[in-house]
Amino acid sequence: MNKIGIIGAGVMGTDLAQMTAESGFSVRLYDSSEKKLKDALSTIESRLHRYEKKQRITSAERESIIAQIKTVNNISEFSDSDIILEAVYEDLSVKKEVFAQLDKTCSPASVLASITSSISITEIASATVRPESVIGLHFLNPARVMPLVEIVPGFSTTRETVEMSKSFLKKLKKDFIEAKDYPGFYLNRILYPMINEATFLLYEGGAKPEVIDKAMKKGLNLPMGPLEIADMVGLDVVLAIGEEMLRGYADNKYRPCPLLRRYVASGYLGKKTKRGFYIY
């Protein structure tokens, strides 16, 4: 197991490409946007230069890591990949379209993994004729830093696929838990309501963002407050998680706060756009 395919060169896809290359995997990175591919490589090269200056890696190691990453212009390039990591936008129809393409292209032995943070793996797998090879691997943001990954088997996912995924994560030096295939899995089932309730508190004029976050950080000894976390993850991603959980559970407690919708509609998505609950 040494060939990795990654679909999506956004924040998550860029992190995945870097850390898999650092772990010695041969990486192919695909995105429909040529600009995103160039930006991803530029970001990785910039980070590695900083690592070299801090003497975390040598010049030879930096060059070796970069050499492990190849950008491609067609999903057909993933035909011999051992594991494909899908990191596109959090939308079921988009993901199903990607998995339908992978199903036609990839080897029967390939593991098809979605990085989704909330969408049912069983629903995603229904776009293929090999649901036994489809699995969820929910990396937390920023993926290169956060130690935990949620492994989410779908209804038909085999134990062989689960064990291959565990072996892959061990090579990345990641810890993991196995979660049930319900919207939000474990982490976002707990985290999203906290972020959403903090947003409602802000929406109702209860407190300023820094006060809300300070209450959670100092009161519960958390490293980050819920609104800071939301800005880091991306408010568009948080909204997509909330909408998926509302759809999946049909429970009004998951209804996204109107202020969250307003921020996303305004393009205030958090750190990636330099403005969210905070200005960066």
Percent helix, percent strand, percent coil in the chain, to nearest 5: 50, 15, 35
Give the separation between CA 237 and CA 242, rounded to whole angstroms: 9
134-150 as b/e, with b when 16 or more CB fall inside 10 Å?
bbbbbbbbebbeeeebb
* Residues 41, 43, 49, 51, CA torsion sign: negative
The 10 Å Cβ neighbour count of residue 187 is 16
The set of catalytic residues is: 117, 138, 150, 188
Laid out side by side, the sheet with 134-139 consists of 69-72, 26-30, 3-7, 83-86, 111-114, 134-139, 148-153, 175-178
Give the separation between CA 171 and CA 216, rounded to whole angstroms: 34
- Number of alpha carbons in the 13 Å side-chain half-sphere of residue 276: 22
- Helices and strands, counts by H and E, the chain: 11, 8
Residue with tokens 């890591």: 65
Give the separation between CA 158 and CA 197, rounded to whole angstroms: 37
